[in-house]
Amino acid sequence: MAKTIHIAAVSIPAFSHQASIIEFCKKLLHLHHHYHVTCIFPTIDAPVAATLKLLQSLPSTIDFKFLPPVNKQDLPQDVSPAVQIQLAVSQSMPSFRDTMRSLHSTTPHLTALIADPFANEALEIGKEFNLLSYIYFPPSAMTLSLFLHLPKLHEEVSCEYRDLTEPIQIPGCIPIQGQDLPEHFQDRSSLAYDLILKRCKRFSLADGFLVNSFLELEEGTVKALQEQNRGNRGENRGNRGKNRGNRDSPVFLVGPVIQTGPSSEPKGSESEYCVRWLENQIPKSVLYVSFGSGGTLSQEQMNELAFGLELSGQKFLWVVRAPSDSANAAYLGVGNEDPLKFLPSGFIERTKGQGLVIPSWAPQTQILSHSSIGGFLTHCGWNSVLESIVLGVPMITWPLFAEQRMNAVLLTDGVKVALRPKFDENGIVKREEIAVVVKGLMQGEEGNGIHHRIEVLKEAAADALKEDGSSTRALSQFGNQIENFLALK
């Protein structure tokens, strides 16, 4: 019987990241039966409720620990939730070190650490215990390439990235306008940018990167990353890098990793009703509209979206959240206000035969997999993007925050499986534009081409996860690197 290999994995206090690393750990253990994983979660105020539900269905080979909570009121209140999360993670590092010391003293001892990119201070602690240290990267390989390239880009560019007249060339990726870089890159004097830059410089501590993507989706990017890392890692790691297993493949595309366990929310009348409603619709006739677990629209934009959907004449299922002037206001929790009261007067009555509005939450994978769904208007969070690809649903991109603009560029200009509406000079998508784009995806000739390409990508995603698929092979190579490390100890 193979010796048990114990790995620690640390995430951040955000459900999308925690759900992704939990699903990755389940996938890892399905392939490597002698592994044992302890998931470690920093918290703000209290554990994420949706994560607690996911943890109820873990196999016995996955343990979890919540670090002592950071009080949200002790964090700066004038910064974005993403910055608050990073600061909370930093404050949690002393308790993380204590937890690692406790785990390392047990049998079997820890062998490796896997860290979220926004918790990569943990890599420094991993080195204190002589562990192999990896970054599990929930977003795309394109975003990883940007993060690895940022220190160089920072030195080469003196102005704000959004002011550049020429597109930015990220290694292995399609050119991208500066305004489409992640939101925290847009003000180089901000705390948010300073934190990102420091984290990107810390990436050199990683012995490898586990990326939630697949070869057929981002082949050019991963080849560029592998070539870049072959040239750089020896310089960064010094003599200690000599014991590091497979040096030729430090980037492992192990996706698509999407949630496959029980729903993160309890079944209720609303979620059951929306599925029953879909049963009465024509195949591929319904546009699903959702902005993820944290995205919010302003009141003005919410009104325009409502009128645009109505004007399109297309069937829709819309998950509505209360409006906010902050695009990620719901990222650290949803308020108690009834979101339906913010819709335009008479909207629900006028569209009763055309659409269905669900407040706050709906069973997304169950909806996307339904035969009635013919399109997905999405905020382009990477989890949602991968779910849409795996289930073969064409997209309309509506990025709100984080790296979502980059994802939109990849989907529309790269693999061409989505349409992107135009925002006006005030950052609003008008109702007429919404109606045109929705009809274009659901009925137009361009939409037909997108439907064909997403089916091809769906098959490629399924192939990547097969026993001999590219992602399964990458996960095996990751395991080989750990085994080689142990053999040399």
Q: Which residues does residue 209 pair with via DSSP β-bridges, in sequence order?
A: 135, 251
Q: Which DSSP string do the residues of 61-99 spell out, in sequence order? A: TEEEEEPPPBPGGGS-SSS-HHHHHHHHHHHHHHHHHHH
Q: Which residues does residue 312 pair with via DSSP β-bridges, in sequence order?
A: none
The candidate with the shortest Cα–Cα distance to 18, out of 46, 44, 40, 45, is: 40
Q: Is the peptide bond before 108 cis (omega within 30 degrees of 0)?
A: yes
Residue 363 to residue 235: CA distance in whole angstroms: 47
Ramachandran bin of 172, using left for φ above 0, alpha for ψ from -120 to 50, beta for the remaining angles: left
Q: Check residue 335 and report its DSSP letter.
A: -
Catalytic positions: 17, 116
The candidate with the shortest Cα–Cα distance to 366, out of 456, 463, 265, is: 265
Radius of gyration of the chain (CA): 22
CA 379 to chain centre: 11
The candidate with the shortest Cα–Cα distance to 321, out of 299, 346, 354, is: 299
Extract the tokens encoding 363: 């069973």
Extract the tokens encoding 213: 């993507």
Q: Which residues, in sequence order, are CB contacts of 460 under 8 Å at separation 6+?
A: 214, 216, 217
Give the H or E element holding residue 236: helix 215-237
Query: Contact, 192 vs 79, CB < 8 A?
Result: yes
Q: How many CB atoms lie within 10 A of CB 20?
A: 25
The candidate with the shortest Cα–Cα distance to 212, out of 147, 149, 135, 146, is: 135
Residue 306 to residue 377: CA distance in whole angstroms: 13
Beta pairing class for 373-378 and 5-10 = unpaired
